Amino acid sequence: MNVYQLNPLEDARWPEFLQRHPEASVYHTSQWLEALRRTYGYEPVVYTTTAPGQDLENGIPFCRVNSWLTGKRLVSLPFSDHCRPLVDDPDAFQAILAEVEAECRRAGLKYAELRPFSGNPVLEAQDSYSECKRFHMHIIDLSDSIDAIHSRLHKNAVRIPIRDAGRAGLEYSIMNNEAGLKQFHRLMMVMRRKHGIPPQPISWFRNLLECLGEAMEVRIACKEGVPIASIITILHKGTIYYKYMGYDPAYVKIGAIPGLVWQAIKDLKERGAVALDFGRTDYGNTSLVEHKERWSATRSELTYWRTPVCAKKSDSSDDEEMGRAKKLFAILPDPLLRAAGNVLYKHMG
Indicate if 254 and 213 belong to the same structural domain.
yes
Indicate if 58 and 115 belong to the same structural domain.
yes
8-state DSSP, 49: S
Let me know if residue 298 belongs to a domain.
Answer: no
Indicate if 120 and 167 belong to the same structural domain.
no
Indicate if 72 and 98 belong to the same structural domain.
yes
Predicted local distance difference test score (pLDDT) of residue 316: 46
Residue 173, classed as helix, strand or coil, is strand
Q: Which residue ranges in the chain fall short of pLDDT 70?
A: 311-323
Let me know if residue 87 belongs to a domain.
Answer: yes
Predicted local distance difference test score (pLDDT) of residue 314: 46
- Number of domains present in the structure of the chain: 2
Partners of 111 in the β-ladder: 73
Q: What distance in Å separates the CA atoms of residue 26 and residue 18, rounded to the nearest whole number?
A: 9
Let me know if residue 190 belongs to a domain.
Answer: yes
Give strand ranges (E) for 285-331. Answer: 298-307
- What φ, ψ does residue 278 adopt, rounded to 5°? -85, -5
Side by side, the strands of the sheet bearing 216-223 are 4-6, 43-48, 60-67, 71-76, 111-114, 298-307, 130-141, 275-282, 239-247, 226-236, 216-223, 171-174
Indicate if 104 and 54 belong to the same structural domain.
yes
pTM of structure: 0.94
Indicate if 38 and 108 belong to the same structural domain.
yes
- Cα torsion 300, 62, 202, 337 to 10°: value is 80
How many other C-beta atoms are found inside a 10 Å radius of the C-beta of residue 187? Answer: 23
60-80 residue pLDDT tens: 999 999 999 999 999 999 999
Q: Which domain holds residue 221?
A: 144-273
Let me know if residue 11 belongs to a domain.
Answer: yes
Predicted local distance difference test score (pLDDT) of residue 313: 54
Indicate if 101 and 45 belong to the same structural domain.
yes
Let me know if residue 88 belongs to a domain.
Answer: yes
Residue 86 belongs to a domain with what CATH number?
3.40.630.30
Indicate if 314 and 232 belong to the same structural domain.
no
Q: Cis omega (within 30 of 0) on the bond before 77? A: yes
Indicate if 150 and 212 belong to the same structural domain.
yes
Indicate if 206 and 321 belong to the same structural domain.
no
Let me know if residue 343 belongs to a domain.
Answer: no
Indicate if 64 and 175 belong to the same structural domain.
no
